[in-house]
Amino acid sequence: MGIEPAVGRLLLRCLWAAISAALVTGCMTSRVEESKNAATGLAPGESVVILATSYHRGKATEEDFVSCVNDAVQSGDGKVRVTPQQQFIDALFPWFEPRTAPQSADALPELLARPGVAERIEAQGVRYLVWLDGTTEKTSGGGSLSCAVGPGGGGCFGLTWWEDDASYDAAVWDLRRQSNAGSVSADVHGTSMIPALIIPVPLIARTQSAACRDMAQQLRQFIHGPEVGS
Partner 1 sequence: MLRALVVSILAMALVSCSGSVQVQHAFPAPLVEQLPLRVAVWYPPGLSDFTYHEEDAAQQEWTVRLGTANLRMFNAVFAALFREVVHAGSLDEARALQPPVDAILSPAVDAFELSSPALSGTDQFAVWIRYNLDVLAPDGTLIVRWPIAAYGQAGTGGMSDAESMERATVLALRDAAAAIAVGFARQPKVREILLRESTSDGH
Instruction: By CB under 8 A, name the binding residues for partner 1.
Output: 55, 60, 62-65, 67, 90-95, 97-100, 114-117, 120
Q: Given the complex with partner 1, which of 40 and 136 has the nearer CB atom?
A: 136
Shortest distance (Å) from residue 155 CB to partner 1: 24
Q: Least CB distance from residue 86 to partner 1, whole Å?
A: 10
Cβ neighbours of residue 150 closer than 8 Å, sequence gap 6 or more = none
Type of residue numbered 184: V
Residue whose CB is less far from partner 1, 16 or 55: 55
- 180 CB neighbour count, 10 Å cutoff: 18
Tally Cβ neighbours within 10 Å of residue 57: 12
- Phi/psi region, residue 45 (left: phi>0; alpha: psi -120 to 50; beta: rest), is left
* Helix, strand, coil share (%) of the chain residues, nearest 5: 30, 40, 30
- Looking at the Cβ atoms of 56 and 79, the one nearer to partner 1 is 56
Least gap, CB of 125 to partner 1 (angstroms): 17
Nearest approach, Cβ of 52 to partner 1 (angstroms)? 10
CA distance 26 to 70: 25
CA 71 to chain CA mean position, Å: 9
Question: Would you put residue 79 in left (φ > 0), alpha (ψ -120 to 50) or beta?
Answer: beta
Residue closer to partner 1 (CB basis): 136 or 192: 136
Residue 111 C-beta: closest distance to partner 1, Å: 11
| Cα distances (angstroms) measured from residue 60 to each of 9, 25, 37, 177, 207 | 49, 27, 26, 28, 17
For partner 1, the closer of residues 68 and 181 by Cβ is 68
Q: Which residue number, 124 or 221, has a Cβ lying nearer to partner 1? A: 124
What single-letter amino acid sits at 130? V
* CB of residue 62 to partner 1, shortest distance in Å: 5
